[in-house]
Amino acid sequence: MKKLMIIILTVLLCAFPVVHASEITEREENLDFLYETLKGSHPNIFYSTSEKEFIEKKAEIKKNVNEKSNVEYVLDLQSLVAMVNDSHTNVNIGHALKDVHIYPFSIRHIETWVLDVIETEYEEYLGWEIVDLNGYDMETVKNKMATIISHDNDVWLQRQLRQFINVKEILDYVGIIKDDELEITVKKENQEKTIYLHTVDTSADMVDVVYLAQKRIQEPKTTKDKSKIYFSMPLDGNVYYIQYNACQEDKNLPMETFSLNVQKDLESNDYQTVVIDLRNNTGGSDGVIMPLLYVLTEYQNNNDVEIVGLIGENTFSSATINAMMIKEMGGILMGTYSGGSVDHYGAVNQFQLPQLNIQVGHSTKYIEIDSLFDSGIPYGIEPIKPDIIMEQTYDDYMQGIDTAVHYIENNSGKLQAREDKNLYISRGRLAYLLHEISLENNESLEYAKETPKDIFFFTYYEEASRWAVKNNIIVGKSSNVFAPSDLLTREELAVVLDRFVSYLNMEPAEKQQLSYKDEKDISIWAKDSVEKIVNMGYLELESEKFNPKGNTTIEKVESILENIKENK
């Protein structure tokens, strides 16, 4: 058995049913202040919810303000903020309210929702699948809780659900319970059981509970080390493992020192795979990791090695950006969908409600990863999809096996990234493909000394961009700006292909008179290149149209380049 100090991570609530007239005025003022300040401070609270809906919600709260307890009022404020659909924007009520009533249980998602913590009376049901709470299945529970949980994707909603699920006042607010008793129906194989729980007052401080983790045969060595921000170790002769738990500097082990230690380890052995574990990293500052990425980039350039980033529902905010950096290195992402969205609102600031000791955190800018990284092109405000989806299995969990890491150990050197070749070609990707062809010709290539200022040193196309600029094959959009994630139009592609075939000293085809129905739409600077490349058969007309402003898929461009290689 184990004693559990009941700590509610995000909400501490207390209820005082008597509301005086002065409090009503203060409540209305706080509500107005919250809405107007949020509207003026957040980049765009209306990006997914209309202003009309916000005004209607605010009016609904104000209409019933004198009927609400303090608990309900604060949750009303959070429900208004949750309509922004921004995981970084929340009413921070944890420090302001107290004396909650909780149910002594917790849940965990391992393939499905299972009972993770329970009072000792029901110990035998640990790990059983949760069928419903008070008759509501877990999907319905999640949808009800979504009204008060700030989230911009479903993965983060699921993650945050665990933090709220045992608070009586919240369950009552969203309509899951009406009295003190909570019924939890669980099942295992063909058995089904209903557990009846009653609340525990936090003033009691302690309650006897048992954890599912206590039933495991052992803990894997890759379990989160709560005492360390980052650490590293070899898992075997082929796999080197780095755990990165927060995007912040360890005062006792600066990132530069840690990275040099990693470099020494890597140089002492011929590793096939380097793993960066971001599964427990909820963010901080995305730049802290740069010294480590520098070491890994150098090692990657000089060795045949896989870089694998592990992600999951706790991978959030700056850690999501770091995961995209790994992808931009040409790395492989494995695990489950990230809790953080690729494009997202962030850079949090705070303000305080005037009559309440409550802080409101809010985003101050919109971060578009696809403007920075080629790998961000397929995404909007949505979680990262791993190249290899690898969910922790229940059986492995109980055996003390890290499912994803176990898979890596058994497949080191054979892992492959997921690639959607139906996406349109970007400038960075095209530079990389053209550079690869040039390398195959064993030519002595020339490179610009400086990397374009908008290309990070760790990107898979960094060297290719310097080659493309030096040889005037893909020129910058302005002085020292390459715009690697910009998509090429067909006329831009024609110009680049024209320069490339000239670079390869390929003779143009015999000139034929071509007729385009959309010739007037072709830019003057592209006309000669379009005519040449169409004549050579690398770009085709469709219904006598060239479609100069359209885009071309990666698959199509790769096919064009294969034709160029064959004709060289």
- How far apart (Å, rounded) are the C-alpha atoms in residues 408 and 454? 33
Q: What are phi and psi of 346, to 5 degrees?
A: -160, -155
- How far apart (Å, rounded) are the C-alpha atoms in residues 142 and 48? 19
Residue whose C-alpha is closest to residue 6's, from 195, 168, 213, 224: 168
Structure token pair of residue 387 = 């190249």
pLDDT in tens, 63-83: 988 888 888 999 999 999 999
- How far apart (Å, rounded) are the C-alpha atoms in residues 265 and 241? 11
Residue whose C-alpha is closest to residue 305's, from 269, 273, 331: 273
pLDDT in tens, 469-524: 999 999 877 778 999 999 999 999 999 999 999 999 988 766 677 778 999 999 99
The alpha carbon of 32 is separated from its chain's Cα centroid by a whole number of angstroms, namely: 33
353 contact partners, CB below 8 Å, separation of at least 6: 30, 33, 34, 77, 359, 360
Neighbours of 139 (CB within 10 A): 10
Q: Where are the alpha helices (DSSP H) in 246-358?
A: 255-267, 290-302, 318-328
Residue 348 buriedness (CB in 10 A; 0-12 / 13-18 / 19+): middle
The answer to whether the beta carbons of residues 326 and 274 sit under 8 Å apart is no
Give the DSSP H or E segment for 550: none
Structure token pair of residue 412 = 């080191």
How do the pLDDT tens digits run along the chain, 568 residues long?
A: 444 444 443 334 333 344 455 566 889 999 999 999 999 999 999 999 999 999 999 999 999 888 888 889 999 999 999 999 999 999 987 765 566 789 999 999 999 999 999 999 999 999 999 999 999 999 999 999 999 999 999 999 999 999 999 999 999 999 999 899 999 999 999 999 999 999 986 654 567 899 999 999 999 999 999 999 999 999 999 999 999 999 999 999 999 999 999 999 999 999 999 999 999 999 999 999 999 999 999 999 999 999 999 999 999 999 999 999 999 999 999 999 999 999 999 999 999 998 888 899 999 999 999 999 999 999 999 999 999 999 999 999 999 999 999 999 999 999 999 889 999 999 999 999 999 999 997 768 999 999 999 999 999 999 999 999 999 999 877 778 999 999 999 999 999 999 999 999 988 766 677 778 999 999 999 999 999 999 999 999 988 999 999 999 999 999 999 999 998 7
- How far apart (Å, rounded) are the C-alpha atoms in residues 127 and 116? 6
Q: What percent of the chain has pLDDT over 90?
A: 83
Q: What pLDDT is stored for residue 372 in this prediction? A: 92
Which homologous superfamily is 231-340+383-411 in? 2-enoyl-CoA Hydratase; Chain A, domain 1 (3.90.226.10)
DSSP annotation of 37 reads H
Pair type for strands 112-119 and 191-197: unpaired
User: CA dist 512 to 67, 528, 531, 532, 534, Å?
Assistant: 82, 12, 9, 9, 10
245 contact partners, CB below 8 Å, separation of at least 6: 224, 225, 226, 228, 229, 230, 280, 281
Pair type for strands 388-389 and 332-335: parallel
- How far apart (Å, rounded) are the C-alpha atoms in residues 207 and 119? 8
Structure token pair of residue 63 = 């209409």
- End-to-end Cα, the chain, rounded Å: 74
Q: Where are the chain's structural domains?
A: 1-215+350-359, 231-340+383-411, 427-567
User: CA dist 542 to 463, 518, 526, 548, 563, Å?
Assistant: 35, 11, 18, 11, 19
SS3 240: strand
196 contact partners, CB below 8 Å, separation of at least 6: 181, 182, 183
DSSP class per residue in 148-201: TS--SSHHHHHHHHHHHTTBHHHHHHTTS-SSS-EEEEEEETTEEEEEEE--EE
User: Helix and strand tally (H, E) in the chain?
Assistant: 16, 19
pLDDT in tens, 181-206: 999 999 999 999 999 999 986 654 56
User: Does the pTM exceed 0.85?
Assistant: yes
- How far apart (Å, rounded) are the C-alpha atoms in residues 93 and 86? 17
Mean pLDDT of the chain: 92
Sheet with strand 388-389: strands edge to edge = 230-234, 239-244, 273-277, 306-311, 332-335, 388-389
pLDDT in tens, 354-364: 888 889 999 99
